[in-house]
Amino acid sequence: DAGITQSPRHKVTETGTPVTLRCHQTENHRYMYWYRQDPGHGLRLIHYSYGVKDTDKGEVSDGYSVSRSKTEDFLLTLESATSSQTSVYFCATWVGRGAQDYTFGSGTRLTVV
């Protein structure tokens, strides 16, 4: 276990409110990722980071922003939550070239009402 902690584990929020999800890792992995998992869509990449302050968009980045000010923390922000953002969000880390497996957190279940 690479020591990934996602917080909160569950959250219910209202439409239009900002929400920030946190991913914290203790293994000093270079790469960090945010995915969302929805029925019928599988896992889709939202944003990822390849170093401190280095981030890039994934396939479903609209409505989301990220920040990585420290190696260990990767924040996902929903600026103004919508019901379509109700999902399970997973953080993952990867140490870098030469490593085979990506390590996933336990997920955050977000409900936007």
Partner 1 sequence: SQELEQSPQSLIVQEGKNLTINCTSSKTLYGLYWYKQKYGEGLIFLMMLQKGGEEKSHEKITAKLDEKKQQSSLHITASQPSHAGIYLCGADYTGANSKLTFGKGITLSVRP
Among 18, 41, 51, 84, binds partner 1 (CB under 8 A): 41
The least CB distance from residue 46 to partner 1, in Å, is 11
What DSSP string runs through 12-73? EE-TT--EEEEEEESS--SEEEEEEEETTTEEEEEEEEEETTEEEE-TT-TTEEEEEEETTE
The least CB distance from residue 48 to partner 1, in Å, is 6
- Is residue 85 within 8 A of residue 17, CB to CB? The reply is no
Does the footprint of partner 1 cover residue 97 (CB under 8 A)? yes
Q: Which is nearer to partner 1, 45 or 75 (CB)?
A: 45
Does the footprint of partner 1 cover residue 44 (CB under 8 A)? yes
Does the footprint of partner 1 cover residue 63 (CB under 8 A)? no
Per-residue CA distances from 63 to 29, 35, 93 (Å): 26, 14, 22
Q: Which is nearer to partner 1, 85 or 94 (CB)?
A: 94
Q: Which is nearer to partner 1, 14 or 59 (CB)?
A: 59
Among 53, 62, 83, 100, binds partner 1 (CB under 8 A): 100
**Collapsing DSSP states into helix, strand and coil, what is residue 109?**
strand
Q: Which is nearer to partner 1, 8 or 16 (CB)?
A: 8
- Is residue 75 within 8 A of residue 22, CB to CB? The reply is yes
